[in-house]
């Protein structure tokens, strides 16, 4: 039985894949385990709930449907922005993730979908929106 409670600090390794097996994240390859505090809400709820059932050394798999992960793709989050609002000399690369600020000054991340002479189409959805996710999780440590 797990002795993980709200507020427990844990370290896990994980491999995240899509339904087709494409890997989107791997803490083992980065040689950097995920450090998380149970109950903080900084990771997907189903990921955290799986970790809460584990003991050190356990390995578990969990499938998280897109509705419980990053949601469906929101068509309203695909926007067109005037090209002249980008800095001079900006390199537009299709499918590249970029960071900037919204008109209200808030930070934003988007993927470039299309570029014309006058505008840039940006997808403001999370890159994993609309995708079911699979995780292989290994609990490495529960801090005392």
**Mind giving me the DSSP string for 26-71?**
EHHHHT-PEEEETTS--S-HHHHHHHHT--TT-EEEEEE-GGGTT-
pLDDT digits (tens, 9 = 90+) for 109-135: 999 999 999 999 999 999 999 999 999
Q: Residue 30 burial (CB < 10 Å; 0-12/13-18/19+)?
A: exposed
Residue 1: predicted pLDDT: 56
**Residue 32 above 90 pLDDT?**
yes
Residue 101: predicted pLDDT: 82
**Residue 79 above 90 pLDDT?**
yes
Distance CA 34, CA 12 (A): 5
**Residue 11 above 60 pLDDT?**
yes
Distance CA 75, CA 102 (A): 18
Residue 104: predicted pLDDT: 85
Enter the DSSP assignment of 111: E
Q: Which domains does the chain have, with CATH numbers?
A: 9-70+129-142 (3.10.50.40), 75-123 (2.40.10.330)
């Amino acid at each position: 039985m797990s002795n993980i409670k709200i507020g427990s600090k844990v370290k896990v390794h994980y491999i995240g894949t899509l339904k087709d097996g494409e890997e989107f994240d791997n803490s083992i390859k980065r040689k950097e385990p995920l450090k998380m505090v149970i109950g903080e809400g900084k990771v997907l709820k189903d990921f955290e709930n799986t970790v809460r059932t584990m003991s050190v050394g356990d390995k578990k798999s969990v499938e998280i449907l897109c509705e419980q992960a990053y949601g469906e793709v929101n068509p309203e989050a695909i926007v067109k922005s005037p090209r002249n609002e980008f800095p001079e000399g900006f390199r537009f690369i299709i499918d590249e993730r970029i960071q900037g600020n919204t008109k209200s000054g808030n930070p934003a991340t988007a993927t470039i979908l299309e570029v014309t002479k006058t505008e840039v189409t940006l997808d403001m959805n999370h890159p994993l929106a609309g995708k079911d996710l699979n995780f292989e999780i290994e609990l490495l440590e529960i801090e005392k």
